[in-house]
Structure 1
Amino acid sequence: MRAAIGVIAAFAVAVAGVVSLVLLDSDAQATGSAGGLTGVPDEFRPWILRASHACQHPELAPALLAAQLQQESGFSTSSSLVSPAGAQGPAQFMPATWDTWGRDDDGNGTISPYDVGDAVMAQGRMMCSLIGHAKESGLGGDARSLALAGYNAGWGAVEAAGGIPPYPETQHYVATILSSMKKFEGALLAVSGSKKGVGALRRASSQIGTPYSWGGGSPNGPTPGFCDGTNGYLNGRCSASVTAGWDCSSLVQYAYWTSRQLPRTAADQYRATSERSISRDQLRVGDLLFWSHGGTSGIYHVALYAGNSTVLHAPRTGKDVQLAPLASAMPAGEYYGATRP
C-alpha cells in the first residue's frame, strides 16, 4: 500500500466458519477444519483465515489476502521492513492509514504494523471495507480489483478514475495479485470417491467462489449472463451481463455434464430426474435438491447435496458459489424435494 486512504465508513462483519468435507464413496465421513488456504507461513495462516472469516463479503477469500501479502512483503516479518514511501510491516501500512485500521488483535498489549496478527487483521478490515465500497460504488467490474486498487493507490484515486487508476504500479499490483491467488487456494471441499454424484460434486466444488450470474454458465464453464427485467440486477444495474459466473441450474448442468447431460433450467432438471425421487433421510452426495413457489412449474432453485446437511449451490445475484446449510440455503417452506440423476 503506497498511499494513505481517508476515513472509510464503518462496516458490519459476520463471522462465518469455513466448511471442509472429505467425502468418501460411503458418503458417511465428514470432518470440519479451516481449509481454503495453502502455501503460506504457519504464523500467517490462522490470521489470514480469521481475517477472511470476519468479513461479510465472500470476495475476501483467504487466497486473496495471501496473494496480497506475498505482493506487499513476501510474508516478511522483519522488524525493520519499511518501503521507500514509508509503508511498514508485512501488510505495508502507511502510518496514517494504520491509525485507522490497526488494533491489538494478537492481544500482546501493543498495536503494531509489524505484529503479524495485528497487520493481517487490519489488512482484512481495510480490504473488507474497500470491497464493500466497490460493490456499492456503481463502478461495475470486479470488486476485488477495485478494492486492491484502493489499497494500493487510495479509494479516492479509484473514484477519480472511475475504476482502476491508470498508474502502471497499481495496474501491475492488481493483476499480479489476482493471477497469483491460485497457488494459495486450498480445497474448501475435498471430495474423494468414484460414484457419479461424488464426481459431480467434485466438479462443482472447483467453482466455489465464482460469482452468481443470472443466465450465465455453460457445460464449458462460467460465462456472462443477462438481465430479463426482473433478475440479474444489483444496486439497480445489470450485473449479470458483465459478470462471468453461474446461476443455480447451469452449475448443476456443468457438474453432471461428463456423466449425464441434464437440461438447462431447474424445473427441467427436476422433470428429467424425477423418476428417482429421494427423501431427505436418504440423501447422498450429488443428489439434486429443489425449491419451488408452487408445484413443478414453480421450481426456481436447484442445489447439489454436499453431505453433512449442507448443499453446494449458486444462490443469487451478489453472492458466489458456496457451501451452505441445507436448512437455511433457501426458505425452508419452499423446499420441494430431491432427486438422484
Structure 2
Amino acid sequence: MKTSLIAAAPLMLLPLMMAGGDAQGAGTGLEGVPPEYVQAVMDAGSICTEITPSLIAGQIEAESGWDATAVSPAGAQGIAQFMPATWKSNGVDANGDGVADPFDPIDAIASQGRFMCGLVETVKAYVASGQAVGNVVDLALAAYNAGAGAVQQHRGIPPYSETQDYVAKIKKLAGKYTQRSVSASSVVATAQKYLGTPYVWGGTTAAGLDCSGLIVRVYADLDKPLNVRTAHQIITQAGTPVDELALQPGDLIGFATRGSGHYHHIGIYAGKDPSGNRLMIHAPDVGGHVEQVPLDTAYWLGMHWQAVRI
C-alpha cells in the first residue's frame, strides 16, 4: 500500500518493435510473469535504471498476487494496489483508452514503474544532500512502504519491522522473475550471422536491417527481446552505461554528433583484431550491408560515444 505522494518522473512507454514480436513472445525474456503482463512489466521496469522489470514483478506479487480486481481492507485498488489519493497524483493512461484506471492492469503497472522511479529520484536527492544513507533501491522501497518523509526523518530505512521486512521481501521476490541473460560472445556471434545483410531503413529481419534493427534482431534471436527500437532509445534506456575504456565484446556503442546529445547510430563492439584495433559490427547506411569495421578511425573518433551493456 502506497503511503507517500511524489512528483514522479515522466513516463516513457515504448512498444516492442521486432518482426513477429508480441507480448506473448516477450514472455521468454522475463520468466515467471503472466504472459499477458510481460510487456507492461518490461516497459514499467525500463523507465529508470534502478527499477528493473524483476523488481516491478516482485512488488506486484506482494501487493496483489497478480489479481487485477484486488481491493484491500484499507481501500488499495487493483493489481498494483494504489490508494485512491496516490493514484490521483500518479496514475497514467498507459493503453491510450482515455481513462487512467487503477483496475486496468496496463495502466496500473505503468503507473507502478512511474511511481517507483519518482521515489528513486526523491531518495537520491536525500542521499546527495546527506539526509539519508543507504542503497537507493532499498531506500525507494522503504519510501514506498513507509513514505518518503519517514526515510528522510530516519536518515535511511525507518526502524519499523514492517518496512524492513517489506524491503527484504520485495528483493527476494524479485529473484523469482529473472530476465534471461546473454553472454557477450553470443551477442557478437549472433551479430556475425548477419554480416552481408543489406541495409534497409526500418528493417528488423534477415531480409534487411538498419543500425538499430540489427540490435533488435540480435536480442530477439537470443530470446531476450528489447522494448525499445531506435538507436537513441537503446542507448539511453536499455542498458547500463559503460566507460569507453572498459568496453567488452557485446557492448553496444551509440554515436552522436558532438554537442547534439542525440544518438543517431549504434553498433556492437566486437573486440580487437590481432593488431589490437577495436572492431564494431553495424549496419552502416542505405546502399550498404552489415559489416565489421575498425573503430579507431578519424570518422568514428570524431563523434561522441556512449557505450552500454545489457
Alignment of 1:20-31 (within 5 A): none
Cα distance, 1:18–1:136 mapped onto 2, change above 3 Å: farther
State, as a whole percentage, how many aligned pairs show the same letter: 34
Residue of structure 2 aligned with 1:82, choices 72, 76, 90: 72
Task: Tell me the distance in 2 between the aligned counterparts of 1:142 and 1:179.
Answer: 16
1:65 — aligned with what?
Answer: 56
* Contact 2:145 2:163 survives alignment (8 Å): yes
Structure 2 residue ranges without an equivalent (≥5): 193-217, 225-236, 252-270, 283-288
Task: Tell me the distance in 2 between the aligned counterparts of 1:271 and 1:103.
Answer: 49
Task: Tell me the distance in 1 between the aligned counterparts of 2:277 and 2:96.
Answer: 58
Q: Does 1:181 align with 2:178?
A: no
2:276 — aligned with what?
Answer: 274
Deviations along 1:131-188, one digit per CA (max 9) or x if unpaired, are 2223333245432222211111111111112122121121121122223323312237
Deviations along 1:229-288, one digit per CA (max 9) or x if unpaired, are xxxxxxxxxxxxxxxxx7555563999xxxxxxxxxxxxx9798526877977855xx99
Residue of structure 2 aligned with 1:165, choices 151, 158, 171: 158
Cα distance, 1:31–1:60 mapped onto 2, change above 3 Å: farther
2:4 — aligned with what?
Answer: 5
Deviations along 1:105-142, one digit per CA (max 9) or x if unpaired, are 44556543222122212212211211222333324543
Q: 1:274 aligns to what SS in structure 2?
A: coil
Task: Tell me the distance in 1 between the aligned counterparts of 2:181 and 2:22.
Answer: 9
Q: Does 1:44 align with 2:43?
A: no
Task: Tell me the distance in 2 between the aligned counterparts of 1:125 and 1:16.
Answer: 14
2:62 maps to amino acid: Q
**RMSD of the TM alignment (CA)?**
4.6
Task: Tell me the distance in 1 between the aligned counterparts of 2:276 and 2:171.
Answer: 41
TM-score (normalised: structure 1): 0.52
* Contact 1:59 1:209 survives alignment (8 Å): no
Alignment of 1:1-341 (within 5 A): 1=1, 3-6=2-5, 8-15=6-13, 35=26, 36-53=29-46, 55=47, 57-79=48-70, 81-83=71-73, 85-106=74-95, 111-137=100-126, 138=128, 139=132, 141-187=134-180, 189=182, 192=186, 249-250=245-246, 252=248, 273-274=275-276, 283=291, 313-314=307-308, 321-322=309-310
Deviations along 1:180-236, one digit per CA (max 9) or x if unpaired, are 3233122375875996999xx99xx9xx98866xxxxxxxxxxxxxxxxxxxxxxxx
Task: Tell me the distance in 1 between the aligned counterparts of 2:170 and 2:12.
Answer: 25
* Contact 1:102 1:112 survives alignment (8 Å): yes
Kindly state the Cα deviation for residue 42 of structure 1 after the two structures are TM-superposed: 2.5
Structure 1 residue ranges without an equivalent (≥5): 21-29, 213-245, 256-268, 304-312, 315-320, 323-341
The number of aligned residues is: 236
